[in-house]
Structure 1
Amino acid sequence: MAKRIVIWTKTADLQFIGVLEYWVNRNKSTTYSKKLLDLVSKKTRQLSKRPFIYKSTEFNGVRVAPIGNFSIYYKVDGLQITIVAFWDNRQDPKELFSALKKSKESK
């Protein structure tokens, strides 16, 4: 199977950067953020090879890949995977719909 290209929407990218910055400021160290960056890199490489191993969501065409307390929401379109949201699962789930809608608009 062909390896797919992984693209992050502006919204997903800002969410991920925000999480990384939060943990750097909270811990006064980059250790956890580097660990999270490594986990996300591994997960996106896995998605590029096998995008359908994670479950579909109630959002049209969106799948979710869990990473501990976080989730990557993504769409598969041919040879492209679009990360539409990077979500901290401890946040209010009502905000997720808004984030996914916003990512669609900022693509």
Structure 2
Amino acid sequence: MTPKLFITGVTGYIGGDALFHLTQQRPDMTLTLLVRSEDQAEQVRSKYPNARILLGSLDDLDIIRREAAWVDIVFHTADSSDHESSAKAITAGLAEGHSTS
């Protein structure tokens, strides 16, 4: 089974490094990456052409919840230490996407 990942913060130091190493180890992964601007999207797209790029921010809670529900793994590496609502959206999405009922 090909793992599906949703990663926030891929244009930052931690997220970018994590993305690089993950794709080196598992090039078969299905990636969805959240970026804040079209400029960032183009930069990421040039390095990871098979990734699905979403434009948005940590305030786009519906996007975050929907993507967390769809994937197997979420790496939330965006500068989110004081952004509780995005963490709650991820938790809700993971619960929704992985419920057994």
TM-score between both structures, scaled by the size of structure 2 = 0.34
- Name the structure where strand makes up a greater proportion of residues: 1
TM-score, length of structure 1 as denominator length: 0.32
